[in-house]
Amino acid sequence: MVKEFRRVRPHPGRLGAVRTLFTRQYDVTRAVDGISFSVDEGELVGYLGPNGAGKSTTIKMMTGIVLPTGGTVRVRGLDPWKDRPRNAAQMGVVFGQRTQLWWDLPLRDSFRLVGAIYGVSPADYRTSLDRFVDLLDMGEFIDRPVRQLSLGQRMRGDLAAAMLHRPRVVYLDEPTIGLDVMAKDRMRDFVEETAQAGETTIVLTTHDLADVERLCPRIILIDHGRVLYDGDVQGLKTTYATHRELVVQLAPDETTGRVPAVLAEHVLGAEITAQEQGQVRIRFEASRIAVQHLIDSVNRNYPVRDLSIVEPDLEGVVRRIYSEDLAP
Ligand SMILES: Nc1ncnc2c1ncn2[C@@H]1O[C@H](COP(=O)(O)OP(=O)(O)O)[C@@H](O)[C@H]1O
Ligand SMILES: [Mg+2]
């Protein structure tokens, strides 16, 4: 799919003004530039990218808020733009920091309204609400007007409201941005539990890569409106993060109590990045140095008490991809 935003170019001065009478001048932003993917029923996908990458625009096309400039979007067989009401009935959406609740009403009344709008049966409504109040820990504030709630409480309310009619597809666009740790945990557990039930397809946009790593079997990484990566977290690391770190804890010498220093000649060309109190960090390219050889060499030459291999974390990998604009 493609989405261009056009803006009439600002008044370029007197001479230019005459010209624009005949040929309109536009500034065109290609927010989404040929993004293509499909998501299976029941999948939980992390949709990632730096600010301005085109994430929200994609979600707006899938929710039917924005009409694509090119390409096609289908959600469970529906064209989100043309079949807006039917698409709305099958989906739930949360845009972080922007509430869809009624500001002056108690949260509970917002839920009632949402239930009525979507024609949720009283029995289903009660079951869902009880479950959500419990899972999202909303008992304490459900009778307060929305405007009195903290951001974290409100977002939990928003999430519940988006899920009350049991949508088959849920879009969560930065749902935890700016939340305190407690609210974040509640939201994350809720998403995890919903995903595990397997009946809901979830597209999650977030900056919190710890959440992504824990929740999302699949991630789609985009930048400048294009897909950079589509696959699992492990695959992303294998593709983009080729270095590993061997962390060795050395035992002190029995008589002197001192720990030896690891010498460059014993690490097969890897880089010793730190040595302190017997803990040695050795960085190496996994494609160039076989980890077993490295371990053997260290073991042969030093009194090793403990060792572990550290994989690069997702945060670091993703930061590197954005900054270097690596295309696959
Ligand atoms: N309504 C709009 N009008 C003009 N440009 C827009 C509009 N919405 C988004 N954009 C531009 O499209 C690009 C992608 O925006 P967005 O989809 O919001 O990115 P993200 O959600 O990944 O941060 C940005 O350059 C943004 O400035
Ligand atoms: Mg966005």
| Digit-coded pLDDT (tens) for 31-53 | 999 999 999 999 999 999 999 99
| Ligand 1 pocket check for 3: Cβ under 6 Å | no
Q: Is the CB of 49 under 6 A from ligand 1?
A: yes
pLDDT digits (tens, 9 = 90+) for 100-139: 999 999 999 999 999 999 999 999 999 999 999 999 999 9
Q: How far apart are CA 59 and CA 287, in angstroms?
A: 38
The total number of structural domains that make up the chain? 2
pLDDT higher than 80, residue 326: no
Mean pLDDT score of the chain: 90
- Quick check: CB of 101 below 6 Å from ligand 1? no
289/142 same-domain check? no
Selected residue with higher pLDDT from 298 and 311: 298
- Ligand 1 contact via 68 beta carbon (within 6 Å): no
Is 14 domain-assigned?
no
The Cα 314–Cα 235 span in angstroms is 11
Of 207, 222, 237, the domain-final residue: 237
- Ligand 1 atom nearest 225 alpha carbon: 14
- CATH of residue 252's domain is 3.30.70
Q: What is the percent of the chain where pLDDT is above 70?
A: 94
Integer Cα distance of 302 and 252 in angstroms = 10
Amino acid 240: pLDDT: 81
CA of 175, nearest ligand number: 2
Is the domain of 260 the same as that of 223? no
| Segment 75-105, tens digit of pLDDT | 999 999 999 999 999 999 999 878 999 999 9
Residues 131-175: tens digit of each pLDDT: 999 999 999 999 999 999 999 999 999 999 999 999 999 999 999
Does residue 22 sit within a domain? no
pLDDT the model gives residue 234: 87
* pTM of this structure: 0.82
| 3-state percent helix, strand, coil for the chain, nearest multiple of 5 | 40, 25, 40
Domain boundary among 218, 237, 256: 237
* Shared-domain flag, residues 71 and 161: yes
Same domain, 178 and 294: no
Q: What is the DSSP letter of 252?
A: P
Say what the pLDDT of residue 12 is: 57
- Percent share of the chain, pLDDT over 90: 73
On whether both 79 and 60 belong to a single domain, the answer is: yes
Q: What is the mean pLDDT of residues 217-221?
A: 95
135: domain CATH number is 3.40.50.300
**Residue span of the structural domain in which 194 resides:** 41-237
User: How many angstroms separate the CA atoms of 35 and 20, rounded?
Assistant: 32
Q: Which atom of ligand 1 is nearest to the CA of 51?
A: 23
Reply yes or no on whether the pLDDT at 17 is more than 60: no
Nearest to 155 by CA among 89, 100, 210, 90: 100
In this prediction, residue 21 has a pLDDT band, given cuts at 50, 70 and 90, of low
Query: Which atom in ligand 1 lies closest to the alpha carbon of residue 66?
Result: 1
- Distance of CA 53 from the midpoint of ligand 2 (Å): 8
**Ligand 1 and 31: CB distance under 6 A:** yes
Same domain, residue pair 68 and 175 = yes
> Quick one: CA torsion of 60, 237, 51, 170, rounded to 10 degrees?
20
Does residue 322 have its Cβ closer than 6 Å to ligand 1? no
> Which listed ligand is nearest to 54 at the C-alpha?
1
Q: How far apart are the first and last CA of the chain?
A: 20
232 and 282 together in one domain: no
